[in-house]
Structure 1
Amino acid sequence: MDINEQQVLNPWTSMWTKPRATIAQVVATDPKRSVLTIVSLAAIFPVIIMILVSSTVFFAFFPQIHFNLTGVLLAGAIVGAICGILGLYFSGWLLATVCSWFDSRATQTEMRAAIAWSTIPNLWTIPLLLIQIYILASGFVDFGNGDGSHLGSYMGFLTLLNIIKFIIGIWGTVLLCKSVGEVTGFSAWKAFGCILLSFIIFALVIFAISLLFRL
């Protein structure tokens, strides 16, 4: 794609509907653009959400116990960012290697860009996660006060949010396949096959390592 002859896309929004064109533009301009920022955010927020949810439940049942929640959140954010970046480099290497077996044209840098930018939908679910925390917190407060009258409403909202997140997660997988397909020169289905093969290889390696530790 000649970016001088095409409309310049904002990858933060265009990834939703134009993944191939967006990744083509990113790779043609700067394949390292915002990659580490995206994967760091994508890894940090789930960790923070998990800590907040866990602390909400903990304080609801043990209000007399206190600890430095800010410090825990900061440590979680740092660990999450590091794990996200390491995970990106490993998955980029593994997927680029597997795709190269099928005559892929993608470099590891381009593969990392495809993986990172396809997680954009996950970032847009952060407001949903915050709403879930509020609902959970409200539910535990009411439960702690002996009021279960709103439990059905809370569960209904949580179910709806989970359905929305599930749909977004499925679409994120579609975007990943299309993005990997763009940088490799594959169809989305062929890219999906390579992604699945990479996952199987990784799972088999982990399984083999676990067996070694049991010997």
Structure 2
Amino acid sequence: MANGAGGSITPFFTIWTEPRATIRRIVETDPKRYVIALAAIGPAAGALANQWSKAIDNSANLSVLWPIEVAFSAAFGAVLGIVSLYISGAILRWSGGLIGGVASQVEVRSALAWAQVPAIAAEIILLTAVLSGIAIPHPTAAAMLQIDPAFYKVGVAEAVLAIWGSIVGVYCLAEVHRFSAWRAFCATLIPAGIAMVVLGFIVWVVYALLNH
């Protein structure tokens, strides 16, 4: 078995506990390996879970076109995941470069894609739960009162994996940029901070024009 990259499944396990060493081996061998698939699988699985949950809630009124809707939703989710990867990769390449990062866009995309492994696991757990008959609760007061108790376990697992995935992502980004995890965390905050400033400025301009 290869040692962390190549055609081996090893990085799918080591990325959980050794993100820096794993992503370093990946970018030094083939930084494009599985990147597109990793970006697509999570959103596609999430879309499938949502569609199946709707079917559980409204099985009597399913359209004959429902299978096509499911396929379209999964395909759209996959494409959205890939587009988001490229956009995020460009942004975090730029923000990391502002504070001394040296990664290329290919390396940043590899880091972001491999950091999706915990999120993919979370989506697979959710899809498995939905396929077993546990519906996803809708964000309404009435629905929240009727949540299947089994869904709480799924929710806890999703939350833990989301936190773990975020930590893995920071360490992977730090490694490809060749700086500390704290600096990588700051690199993720820079775009959000700029977006908030721009949004605040737009709101201020609109408010000023409306009250002129």
Bin for the TM-score computed over the shorter chain: 0.7 to 0.9
Q: CA deviation at 1:30?
A: 0.7
Tell whether the 8 Å contact from 2:40 to 2:78 is kept in structure 1 after alignment. Answer: yes
Q: What's the secondary structure of 1:105's corresponding residue?
A: coil
Cα 1:115–1:204 change in 2 (3 A) is farther
The 1:172/1:65 distance shift into structure 2, 3 A limit, reads closer
| CA 1:69–1:18: 2 relative to 1, 3 Å | same
Provide the residue aligned with 1:88 in structure 2.
85
CA-atom RMSD in angstroms = 2.6
Q: Tell me the equivalent position of 1:18.
A: 18
- Which residue in 2 is equivalent to 1:136? 134
Q: Indicate if the aligned counterparts of 1:40 and 1:84 stay in contact, CA closer than 8 A.
A: yes
2:180 to 165, 173, 187: 187
Residue pair 2:40, 2:82 contacting (<8 A) in 1 also:
yes
Structure 2 length normalisation: TM-score? 0.81
Post-superposition Cα deviations, 1:75-101, rounded to whole Å, max 9, x if no partner, equal 112211211111111000001101111
What TM-score, normalized by structure 1, do the two folds share?
0.80
Conserved in 1, the CA contact under 8 Å of 2:38 and 2:113?
yes
Amino acid at match of 2:187: C
Distance 2:30 2:58 in 1: 45
Q: Counterpart of 2:3?
A: 8
In structure 2, runs of 5+ residues without a counterpart are 5-9, 138-144
Matched residue type, 2:76:
V
Aligned to 2:148: 155
Q: Is 1:178 aligned to 2:171, yes or no?
A: yes
1:144 — aligned with what? Answer: none
Total equivalences in the alignment: 193
CA contact (8 A) 1:135 1:158 kept: no
User: How many percent identity over aligned positions?
Assistant: 27
Distance 1:72 1:204 in 2: 39
CA deviations on 1:52-85 (whole Å, 9 max, x unpaired) are: 11222122xxx15533221011111221121111
Distance 2:54 2:40 in 1: 21
SS in 2 for 1:25: helix
Change (3 A) 1:210 1:25: farther
Q: Is the 8 A contact 1:27 1:110 kept in 2?
A: yes
Distance 1:173 1:28, change over 3 A: same
Aligned to 1:147: none
Alignment partner of 1:112 is 2:109: yes
- Which of 166, 182, 202 does residue 159 from structure 2 map onto? 166
Q: Does 1:52 align with 2:52?
A: yes
